Structure 1
Amino acid sequence: MTDPPSLPDAPADDRLLDVVVIGAGQAGLSAAHHLLRSGLRAWDDVVVLDANDGPGGAWRHRWDSLTLGAAHGVHDLPGLPLGTPDPAEPASGVVARYYGAYEDAFALPVIRPVAVASVASADGGFAVTARDGRVWRTRAVVNATGTWDSPYVPHYPGIENFGGRQLHTHDYTAATDFAGRRVLVVGGGTSAAQFVLDLDRTGVETVWTTRGAPRWTDRSFDAEWGRAVEASVSARTVRGLSPHSVVAATGLPLTGMYPPAIASGLLVSRGPLLRFTPTGAVLAGPGPDGHGFPSQGAADRLIDDDVRARVRALPGHAVDDDGWEVPVDTVLWATGFRASLGHLSSLHLREPGGGIVMAADGVTMTRQPGLFLVGYGASASTLGATRAGRKAARAAARYVAEEDAVSA
């Protein structure tokens, strides 16, 4: 093994690497681990480029009130169990410490911070170019950039005239930042539900809006469920269709802290968001008279007349017979993320449907030999990412070996 670069900003050299892994989150670390186990050498054959200043991937950016116990799935990396940290500790700190220990334990060749600007075809392989101009030449790439850097905010009529504050999950730091405000939480996923509870604990009034009935489910989030979710997502990606949102694939668990919050009237969707006004939002329902109370899906059994009365007590007034205008000060877009793949744009991987055609293994790019994609589609969860990292590493190592055999 050769020594790593002596300085974080040491330039890449002209060597042709076997594999460059982009991203040091769950999928990237899993891939790097398995690449080294396959016999490839750290620093000589494999490097990992990470845009962050330290370990932890996207987890290092999560808000402090998201504790490990409330986090939706932190899974073991191969060869080093997470153990049993304090569930009350912020997940950001737990995961950053765990990932850092993992990098050290297996001497993973991580270079940071390196923000990758582009990946382009070059001399039968790839040129990976950082924003600061450094270039790594490699025969194969495992792309594990995830989604955190690509927050998604949908457009609604009137949003350009709304005079209050707007922010996305990506920029959320603490509930105390919203003292004295009424916050519209937009989105039907786990983050949206957790924001409603987090804000309420600090006395912040919330209004929750979802495009349809919340996707509550009584199903246990076990291994069988995980396989079913991955199969559902993979059925789209092998056809080149863009993946559905996470909640569309997983649902919301109707367990733990959620049922009491629903029964109290706190965690109840007020229906679809229709448009914005300068001082508020127009929702499909319900209004102060109770008209238009939306379905809560599988949680309808927890909704009684007392809950309905509490929900419709929110100030507001009818607008054009199609909704209720509710005054709000802030909009919190918990509307998810898209895959962070802008640096791959020169490879023209997108299909007309907006997705990328993936092979049956879920990681191999059918249109670009030597490029393997993890943290996309079925591997976007931490459980799926660990397995996908292993698959991508094995596929990349096999690809390199086959290239060697051809050139021998």
Structure 2
Amino acid sequence: MTQVVDVVVIGGGQAGLAAGYHLRRLGLDFVVLDAQAEPGGAWRHAWDSLHLFSPAAYSSLPGRLMPPQSGETYPTAAHVVSYLTDYERRYGLPVVRSVRVEAVHRDGEFLRVEAGAGSWRARSVISATGTWWRPFLPAVPGRTEFKGTQLHTVEYRRPSDFGGQKVVVVGGGNSGAQIAADLASGTDLTWVTLREPRYLADDIDGRALFDHATARRRALDEGRTDTGGVASLGDIVAVPPVREARDAGRLKAQPMFTRLTATGMEWADGTRANADAIIWCTGFRPALSHLGPLGLRGPRGHIPTSGTQARAEPRLHLLGYGDWTGPASATLIGVGRPAREAARQIAEMLR
């Protein structure tokens, strides 16, 4: 049976919940379709030691402050899951699980959302599926020849899984630094990065990053000089575990190898090293395959947008995929503002 609503939100993680909060305040008829069996979005699948970059008060969705976590300045992923679970319940958001959206089609004045559990016709759709479900692996020569274990950030859980092994962590961003710090004591670690790691100043956390991203967006909107965004400050937030490992000399990056062998890796000068496992902390791509039937993909796999609204399909909004869908919109604190603007634009269109 096909159900008809004003808005379908695809994804029940932080971006989907922020959208639902604002849609409810505007009195719209909507449903949130989430492929996961339980609340918490991607945070439920993060590695055990993952911490936020900001204190709880600066990591909140609209309408409700995240409560502090006892004994932690920077909350853990488990604390975020508890917060999102409570947030969904507190505002009575209509989340339907477990519903994996397969495709969105044009259907006259509606967009038709097809899922294994049925279909929905909506006047507008907000896609909030994020990036966690589409990990990126680089095409490194020899990757298929390596006989050891290979996994991506999404599959890493804890250092005890690699006790005493020769482990290579690839990636100079926050995930790479945090996982390398996690493994620095109990394994024979090699941390490999494309360039020398760039740490942000130790007193900078997510609060400053959000302010910087917002200032950049304001400058671009007003035609002023590009400030360079968060990337101009560095690549790695020095959260306490990373700072401790760095200051103890346990985080020393090596340049990127040129190829993998059956037993390890090889650098351009012919140097070789053995490895038991490689953890690719090499980022993600937007999870947008469900929007394929709309034919909207542009350069780098992105859908061109004005704010959150797809330029070639104004009934579609994209939320939480990165700065191209709103400054810092892939963060807890940053997604609230673009979620509010998307909800307001949808309400105006429906009126």
Deviation (angstroms), 1:245:
12
Aligned to 1:204: 187
Aligned to 1:393: 343
Could you say if the C-alpha distance between residues 16 and 246 of structure 1 is closer, same or farther in structure 2, counting changes exceeding 3 Å?
farther
Equivalent pair of 1:232/1:249 in contact (CA under 8 Å)? no
Deviation (angstroms), 1:152:
0.6
Take 1:47 and 1:249, find their aligned partners in 2: how far apart are those partners?
39
Equivalent pair of 1:270/1:283 in contact (CA under 8 Å)? no
The SS at the match of 2:106 is strand
Take 1:335 and 1:234, find their aligned partners in 2: how far apart are those partners?
29
Aligned to 2:52: 71
1:50-89 equivalences in 2 (<5 Å): 50-66=34-50, 70-73=51-54, 75-87=59-71
- Which among 304, 307, 311 is matched to residue 366 of structure 1? 311
More displaced, 149-158 or 73-82?
A: 73-82
Aligned to 1:25: 13
Take 1:129 and 1:234, find their aligned partners in 2: how far apart are those partners?
37
The SS at the match of 1:176 is helix
Take 2:218 and 2:257, find their aligned partners in 1: how far apart are those partners?
30
Please report the RMSD computed on the Cα atoms of aligned residues, expressed in angstroms: 2.7
Percent identical across equivalent pairs? 40
Equivalent pair of 1:189/1:247 in contact (CA under 8 Å)? no
Aligned to 1:340: 287
The SS at the match of 2:308 is coil
Counterpart code for 1:109: P
Could you say if the C-alpha distance between residues 93 and 262 of structure 1 is closer, same or farther in structure 2, counting changes exceeding 3 Å?
closer
Equivalent pair of 2:7/2:123 in contact (CA under 8 Å)? yes
Please say if 1:215 is aligned against 2:198: yes
Please say if 1:382 is aligned against 2:329: no
1:2-151 equivalences in 2 (<5 Å): 13-40=1-28, 45-66=29-50, 70-73=51-54, 75-87=59-71, 91-130=76-115, 132-151=116-135
Report the TM-score when normalising by structure 2. Answer: 0.87
Equivalent pair of 1:63/1:172 in contact (CA under 8 Å)? yes
Deviation (angstroms), 1:19:
0.4
Take 2:164 and 2:36, find their aligned partners in 1: how far apart are those partners?
34
Deviation (angstroms), 1:177:
0.9
Take 1:97 and 1:23, find their aligned partners in 2: how far apart are those partners?
17
Equivalent pair of 1:26/1:77 in contact (CA under 8 Å)? yes
The SS at the match of 1:206 is strand
Aligned to 1:304: none
Could you say if the C-alpha distance between residues 348 and 382 of structure 1 is closer, same or farther in structure 2, counting changes exceeding 3 Å?
same
Aligned to 1:182: 166
Structure (1 or 2) with the larger CA radius of gyration: 1
1:299-318 equivalences in 2 (<5 Å): none
Equivalent pair of 1:56/1:92 in contact (CA under 8 Å)? no
Deviations 1:29-69 (A, max 9, x none): 111011110122xxxx1110011111101101112222xxx
Take 1:103 and 1:278, find their aligned partners in 2: how far apart are those partners?
47
The SS at the match of 1:384 is coil
Deviation (angstroms), 1:258:
3.4
Deviation (angstroms), 1:167:
0.4
Take 1:101 and 1:358, find their aligned partners in 2: how far apart are those partners?
32
Equivalent pair of 2:257/2:265 in contact (CA under 8 Å)? yes
1:246-261 equivalences in 2 (<5 Å): 251-254=235-238, 256-261=240-245
Equivalent pair of 2:111/2:124 in contact (CA under 8 Å)? yes
Counterpart code for 1:206: L
Equivalent pair of 2:213/2:230 in contact (CA under 8 Å)? no
Take 1:46 and 1:366, find their aligned partners in 2: how far apart are those partners?
22
Report the TM-score when normalising by structure 1. Answer: 0.76
Counterpart code for 1:392: A
Aligned to 2:275: 328
Unaligned 5+ runs, structure 2: 221-227, 324-328
Could you say if the C-alpha distance between residues 48 and 353 of structure 1 is closer, same or farther in structure 2, counting changes exceeding 3 Å?
closer
Equivalent pair of 1:127/1:137 in contact (CA under 8 Å)? yes
1:286-301 equivalences in 2 (<5 Å): none
The SS at the match of 2:313 is coil
Corresponding pairs, count = 335
Unaligned 5+ runs, structure 1: 1-12, 237-243, 285-321, 402-408
